[in-house]
Homo-oligomer: A and B are copies of this chain.
Amino acid sequence: MHVSVDVLPSPPAAVACGAPLVRRALTAGEAADLARVLKAIADPARLRLLSMVAAHAGGEACVCDLTEPLGLSQPTVSHHLKVLVDAGLLRREKRGVWAYYALVPGALDAVAGVLSTTAAPGGDPSSC
């Protein structure tokens, strides 16, 4: 028994491409994938973290830069950052004692593209 299905927390998710939401009815699987990424973003603390990381000098920030302005404990901030990394929205790089977080380049735009009811703006030709 126990074949251990190995249901990994999922690879970075990727969101799928194009703007399928309003074009055709989503399948249960597509909806689950999209919801997983959106649930990661749909939290005030995590939205502020994304925003603070993006607006920080150099496009990256360490936990010590984020804890105090956010008004949450350090373990809580670490938890939220992990959720965002697991969702494929942030990238974590450890340098010495500090851990630096930065936006994953196309991630937020991919989500925006799926939600948009018009054609994608810049038109990222790498995917699809």
Contact = CB atoms under 8 A, between A and B. Distances in A.
A115 B31 CA distance: 19
Contacts of A28: 44, 48, 71
A47 B34 contact: yes
Nearest to A66: B25
Interface residues of A, number: 42
Contacts of A25: 48, 51-52, 55, 69
Contact of A108 (B20, B117, B121): B117
B24 A44 contact: no
A34 B23 CA distance: 24
A79 to B, nearest CB: 16
B121 A118 contact: yes
Given A109-B116, A116-B108, A118-B121, A41 B44 contact: no
Interface in A41-59: 41-45, 47-48, 50-52, 54-55
B47 A35 contact: yes
A22 interface: yes
Interface of A: 20-26, 28, 31-32, 34-35, 38-39, 41-45, 47-48, 50-52, 54-55, 69, 71, 103, 108-109, 111-113, 115-122
